[in-house]
A and B are shown apart, each in its own frame.
Chain A
Amino acid sequence: MHVTIRLFARLREVAGASDLTRTIPDGSTAGDAWQALVAEFPALGDHTSSISVAVNEEYAKPATALRDGDEVAFLPPVSGG
């Protein structure tokens, strides 16, 4: 299945991209998508313990199952305000 991956702030800079389309196996979770991304951009691995995940513009969990066409966002620690 195809998913759109969104990266923000420091994660966007590490990967050098804000939007990516990737093909991942059916049945993949958001966490699986992250691991695939880390395989592609090893420097992202340093951030695994501090990221948040959103699926289709809602906060989600690494265990959240993905469907074809989903948008998965990975967020570094926030600093709004």
Chain B
Amino acid sequence: MALGEPRMTVTSESLDVTAVAAAVAGACDGAIATFVGVVRDHNAGRHVLWLDYEAYAPLAVRTFEHIAAEAATRWPDARLAIHHRTGRVDVGEASVAIAAASPHRADAFAACRYAIERVKQVAPIWKHEHFEGGEVWIEGATADPADDEARTLAFARACT
């Protein structure tokens, strides 16, 4: 286990999925599921050049911790680490890396999926898309951590 590797962070540095996994790995675990979100070269018919990510960093880290606490109510033996990029992220680069460790694979997969669904719903982070011919702010959900419907949807997606 990498000592000092934070479980939750927002960083302008490149993401390292091995480090994210190391932040949660323990001797009791039989599985570590990881998810890496990557910038792709197309969106809504546009040719994407790069994304600029903006975050309200302190609230983002608290939100990641809150997501982990929610996951712990469903999968008590699973632990999560969530690392998210800020600044310019080029096509092919990782924008988010998540690791979920658990004694058993089913819970690791489910907690990992839950975490990315919730990050997209409630983390105070924004994509500014630079595409061929222009730029646009991408806006998804209005963030409301207390919205039970969104949380229920995330749990449902995690368990399919």
Contact = CB atoms under 8 A, between A and B. Distances in A.
A78 B143 contact: yes
Nearest to A49: B142
B127 A57 contact: no
Contacts of A80: 53, 55, 60, 84, 96, 119-120, 123-127
B116 A78 contact: no
14 contacts: A6-B56, A52-B144, A54-B56, A57-B58, A58-B62, A59-B145, A73-B56, A78-B122, A78-B140, A78-B141, A79-B138, A80-B60, A80-B119, A80-B127
Interface centre among B56, B120, B123 (most CB of A within 10 A): B56
A76 B137 contact: yes
Contacts of B84: 80
B37 interface: yes
B142 A77 contact: yes
A79 B127 contact: yes
Contact of A76 (B55, B95, B139, B144): B139
B128 interface: yes
Interface residues of A, number: 21
A22 interface: no
Interface in B60-95: 60, 62-63, 84, 95
B58 A79 contact: no
A81 B83 CA distance: 10
B59 A73 contact: yes
B54 interface: yes
Contacts of A76: 126, 137, 139
Contacts of A75: 56, 124, 143
Contacts of A12: 54
A78 B62 contact: no
Interface centre among A58, A59, A78 (most CB of B within 10 A): A78
Contact of B142 (A9, A52, A54, A58): A52
